[in-house]
Amino acid sequence: MDFIRDIDGGFSVIENIKVSGAREGKYGVSVILAPQSTASGVFTTNKVVAAPVTYTKKVVKNGIVSAIVVNSGNANCFTGQKGIDDCEELVNLVSKDLDVPANEIAICSTGVIGREMPMDIISKVAYESISKLGDKPENSLAAAKAIMTTDTFPKEEACEVTLTTGEVIKIAGITKGSGMIAPNMATMLSFIVTDAVISQNAIKKALKIAADKSFNMIIVDGDESTNDTCLMLANGSSGVNVENDGEIDSNFQEGLNHVCINLAKKMARDGEGASKFIEANVQGAESFEDAKLAAKAIVTSPLFKSAVFGGDPNWGRIVSAIGYSGCELNPDIVTIAIADDEDETDLVRKGEILAFEGTPYLGCAEKIMQSKNITVKIDMFLGDGEATARCCDLTYDSVKINAEYTT
Amino acid sequence: MDFIRDIDGGFSVIENIKVSGAREGKYGVSVILAPQSTASGVFTTNKVVAAPVTYTKKVVKNGIVSAIVVNSGNANCFTGQKGIDDCEELVNLVSKDLDVPANEIAICSTGVIGREMPMDIISKVAYESISKLGDKPENSLAAAKAIMTTDTFPKEEACEVTLTTGEVIKIAGITKGSGMIAPNMATMLSFIVTDAVISQNAIKKALKIAADKSFNMIIVDGDESTNDTCLMLANGSSGVNVENDGEIDSNFQEGLNHVCINLAKKMARDGEGASKFIEANVQGAESFEDAKLAAKAIVTSPLFKSAVFGGDPNWGRIVSAIGYSGCELNPDIVTIAIADDEDETDLVRKGEILAFEGTPYLGCAEKIMQSKNITVKIDMFLGDGEATARCCDLTYDSVKINAEYTT
């Protein structure tokens, strides 16, 4: 898509926003300051909801957010009224220090469940973070780092999108999350900012579409956190409106999908204990929903993910996962292929098994399975439903990280 | 339940049945001969269905089964028309050798997916197995052994049930399965025989109830096999009818549940790479369905199962799993306890966290987590829904078994 151009610098590519991050031991605080932005969010559907999620849902409902404060190290979940009080305390502190109305400040947390927030440390780190606010690439990187828990690298993205009108806008984002992490160092947190002008209805719709193609299509361990949050702000600093007659510019949507998918890929690649990155692409499903079911079943299957770790082109596990996914399927006509960045081979072609012992298909498949990036391609030949899901492999280290961290 | 008495001997406790098992390398064949039995079955819901499942569903529909033939080592799945032909060939062979009508013979397979049945070896082992048919405990044990794949021990159960009428019947069973096993050595297979007299409608109903409380409530890896089958035969050799006015004797149902639950427990305990056995008991759910959702979410959560392996009383992961299970939940009133065979402690009581660092609750919990048998007890205080699910922990070996077996 030549209307999308990736650029470096994370949030620093957007005019009129300032960001920062600071850390003390396992506690980090990031601040994103983007005054009077149109805002939307998608949140965990877990019935056990952390206090900051409850709090921020109300803030976002008003449609205007000026700042986001994020802490790592404590999820502020299962903390009752005290948890909500702590949210308010932190927001009031930030509100005074930044001179921004309290009801325009969103708050997110990630970390251990069931412990009160250590407000003395968090407040101190928050003050420090605010004192470092800036608009340089290093400020964006500091923000991406301060929200990390067991992540092994910071995750930033930015791109420039040429709209169908020829005008140009930018979208940038940071994310954290590599599983619902020991002990309950939960959570995917993603923050996207664009300089586009966009209405509250449109930003809500666009973010939902992008999240469904990206964050909602990655699986690390299959456990859904109590704190998952993706917030998007549009500060309008480009002066470019991305809506025409109430329709969102299709290039803007593609650009937003692009940023979210790249952030999601980085999360999957950094899954706890991961040694390989896996994409499952399903085509020809009876519907989009069916394609999603099948793709997600593949990237959720612990058996398939163990096989990838072991380098085994075990297509029987792929077939089995699709079979129990709930999607429509005719095993007699399905095609299953695997690929890496260089090679591609069919394993099963229109129901016929090709990858027998001694065949070149199996030989090629075994070579591909040694790669770091593996794509599974399914064609169902039933319709035009298409979806892609992503995950990492299941390794000894995946178990180790979750088993050895004790409370 | 003092009307149920466990007994040794597996199938040998039932009059008028003969069983056997033989093995050559990774291929085994078990035969269960119970002429003119009333029969019912429950089968995988995977849309990729192995040939023997398709075949046996038709046989069972007729309601009368005289023999079951089971092979391990090859699943006869994704094998097209050839797979069905191989089923028929094996059935015809057994039919002649046993002098039993072909349409009264059920057939089951477990093993690798996507390879044609090695009919020469399977036929040879089938003949050998039939030549060894007998009614002794060692015959039952041989049958339980011949269906094993990566199972580490054979699994048999038998009990005597005193009905509400004072009459006595027996129920016995064998099972195999410890995950959907590398490489697709799939499958739970369970075979139950009773000497009770029971109608086809009643046996169907009773088996469904028992399976829902047992086989459908265990999780090893979360992958559903293409070959899962549970068959139940009633040969009526006791002469005792377990139906009164169309109602199934409640003690008979309890006895059947008991046998199935004990078989299921053995499967969970023998889960691939397992080091611990886990039961999740949910009480006070808004409905039975809700209780099932919550209990299954706990035993499915890779993060919780890794924590058990690591000996960490990580109740946050339990709360989180219930939260995304889809059941109704009020976190402010939930109680969470853990227990082993000796001790029990609350971790969260009516929404209040008890197991803080330094409390005796946490100390006791940490001790319990070192046990081989761990029970998680949840009370939702929302209704009278109750359910129990079972699993094993997630260990390095669970990954190893599934990663290192190459095609």
pLDDT at A181 over 60: no
For residue A47, which residues of chain B lie inside 8 Å, CB to CB? 322-324, 327-329, 331
* Inter-chain residue contact A183 with B400, CB threshold 8 Å: no
Beta-carbon contacts below 8 Å between A and B = 214
Pair (A286, A171) in one structural domain = no
Q: In terms of pLDDT, which residue wins out, A186 or B313?
A: B313
Residues in chain B with CB shorter than 8 Å from the CB of A329 are 47-48
pLDDT at A220: 67
Instruction: Give the mean pLDDT of chain A.
Output: 91
Average pLDDT estimate for B381-393: 93
Tell whether B179 lies on the interface with A, counting CB pairs under 8 A: yes
Q: Among B38, B110, B175, B187, which one carries the catalytic annotation?
A: B187
Torsions phi, psi for A315 (to 5 deg): -70, -20
The last residue of one of the domains, among A269, A303, A321, is A269
Does residue A294 sit in the same domain as residue A248?
no
Residue of chain A whose alpha carbon sits nearest to that of B78: A331
What residues of chain B lie within 8 A of the CB of A331, using their CB?
47-48, 78
Contact A310 B395 (CB under 8 A): no
State the ipTM, two decimals: 0.75
Nearest to B114 among A324, A353, A394 (CB): A353
pLDDT range class, residue B221, cuts 50, 70, 90:
low
Strand pairing category for A189-194 and A229-234: parallel
Q: In CATH, what number is assigned to the domain containing residue B383?
A: 3.10.20.340
> Which of the two residues, B375 and A356, has the higher pLDDT score?
B375
Question: Does position B137 have pLDDT exceeding 70, yes or no?
Answer: yes
In this predicted structure, the answer to whether residue A184 has a pLDDT above a threshold of 60 is: no
Pick among A82, A402, A406 to test the B interface (most B CBs inside 10 A): A402
B320 and A223: CB-CB below 8 Å? Answer: yes
Which of B:251-270 have CB within 8 Å of A? none
On the question of pLDDT at A185 being above 50, the answer is: no
pLDDT of residue A226: 78
Higher pLDDT, B46 or B327: B327
Longest dimension (CA), chain B: 71
Residue A358 touches partner B, C-beta closer than 8 Å: no
**Is the pLDDT assigned to residue A95 strictly greater than 80?**
yes
- Taking the C-alpha atoms of residue A204 and residue A39, their distance in angstroms, rounded to an integer, is 8
Helix (H, G, I), strand (E, B) or coil at B238: coil
| Backbone angles phi and psi of B69, in degrees to 5 | -115, 130
Counting every residue written for chain B, the total comes to 407
pLDDT digits (tens, 9 = 90+) for B262-274: 999 998 888 878 8
Residues A80 and A229 occupy one common structural domain: yes
Could you give the percent of chain A with pLDDT greater than 90?
71
Chain B residues with CB-CB distance to A224 below 8 A: 320, 323-324
Asked if residue A250 has pLDDT above 80, the reply is yes
Mean pLDDT, all residues of chain B: 91
Record: contact B114-A226, CB cut-off 8 A: no
Q: Give tens-digit pLDDT for B312-329.
A: 888 888 988 898 888 999
Inter-chain CB proximity A317 and B224 less than 8 Å: no
Q: Are both B261 and B355 inside the same structural domain?
A: no
Say yes or no to pLDDT of B397 above 70: yes
Mark whether B259 and B284 lie in a shared domain: no
Q: Is there a contact between A26 and A33 (Cβ–Cβ < 8 Å)?
A: no
Task: Report the DSSP beta bridge partners of residue A161.
Answer: A4, A169
- Do residue A216 and residue A318 come from a single domain? no
Q: What is the pLDDT of residue B217?
A: 85
- Specify the number of domains making up chain B: 2
- Chain A stretch 197-226, residues whose beta carbon is closer than 8 A to a beta carbon of chain B: 221-226
**A44, A187, A388, A395: which one is catalytic?**
A187
What residues contact B245, with CB distance under 8 A and at least 6 apart?
Answer: none
Question: Cβ–Cβ of A302/B329 closer than 8 Å?
Answer: no
Q: Which residue has the higher pLDDT, A144 or A152?
A: A144
Q: What would the two tokens of residue B219 be?
A: 């999780």
Q: CB of B362 within 8 Å of any CB in chain A?
A: yes
Nearest to A302 by CA among B221, B113, B48: B221
The verdict on A348 and A264 lying in the same domain is no
Per CB-CB distance under 8 Å, the chain A contacts of B47 are 322-324, 327-329, 331
Residue A35's pLDDT is what? Answer: 97
Contact: A399, B321; criterion CB under 8 Å? no
CA-closest candidate to residue A329, choices B55, B46, B184, B50: B46
User: What is the span of the domain harbouring residue A44?
Assistant: 4-269
Residue A223, pLDDT score: 67
Letter string b/e over residues B61-74, b meaning 16 or more CB atoms within 10 A of that residue's CB: eebbbbbbbbbbbb
Among A269, A289, A307, residue at a domain's last position:
A269
- Does the pLDDT value for residue A260 go beyond 90? yes
Residue B124: count of CB within 10 angstroms of its CB: 15
pLDDT given at position A271: 81
The burial class, CB within 10 Å (0-12 / 13-18 / 19+), for A404 is middle
**Do B180 and B215 have their domain in common?**
yes
Does B286 touch chain A if contact means CB atoms closer than 8 Å? no
Last residue of a domain, one of A269, A303, A337: A269
Interface contact B353-A405, CB threshold 8 A:
no
Q: Return the CATH number at A48.
A: 3.60.70.12
| Residue B406 confidence (pLDDT) | 39
Distance of CA A145 to the CA centre of its chain: 15
pLDDT digits (tens, 9 = 90+) for B167-176: 999 999 999 9
pLDDT digits (tens, 9 = 90+) for B286-322: 999 999 999 998 998 888 888 899 888 888 889 888 9
User: Within 13 Å and on the Cβ side, how many CA atoms surround A66?
Assistant: 13
Instruction: Please check whether residues A314 and A351 belong to one and the same domain.
Output: yes
Regarding predicted confidence, which is higher, A240 or B114? A240
> Is the CB of residue B118 less than 8 Å away from at least one CB of chain A?
no
**Cβ contact B287:B172 at 8 Å:** no
- Say what the pLDDT of residue A221 is: 63
pLDDT of residue B182: 31
* A286 and A227 belong to one structural domain: no
Give per-residue pLDDT as tens, A380-404: 999 999 999 998 888 877 777 666 6
> Are A253 and A281 found together in one domain?
no
Distance from CA of B267 to the nearest CA of A (A): 17
Dist. CA B224–CA B226, nearest whole Å: 7
pLDDT computed for residue B146 by the predictor: 97
What pLDDT does residue A179 have?
59
- For the ranges A373-387, B194-208, B266-280, the lowest mean pLDDT is seen at B266-280
Tell whether A239 lies on the interface with B, counting CB pairs under 8 A: no
- Quick check: is A359 catalytic? no
Report yes or no: B3 at the A interface, CB cutoff 8 Å: no
B111 shares its domain with B250: yes
CA distance B303 to chain A (A): 6
Which site among B45, B47, B109 would you substitute to test the A interface, given the most A Cβ atoms closer than 10 Å to its Cβ?
B47
Which pLDDT band holds residue B3 (cuts at 50, 70, 90)?
Answer: very high
Q: Would an 8 Å CB–CB cutoff place A1 in contact with chain B?
A: no
Q: Who wins on pLDDT, A222 or A77? A: A77
Distance from CA of B325 to the nearest CA of A (A): 8
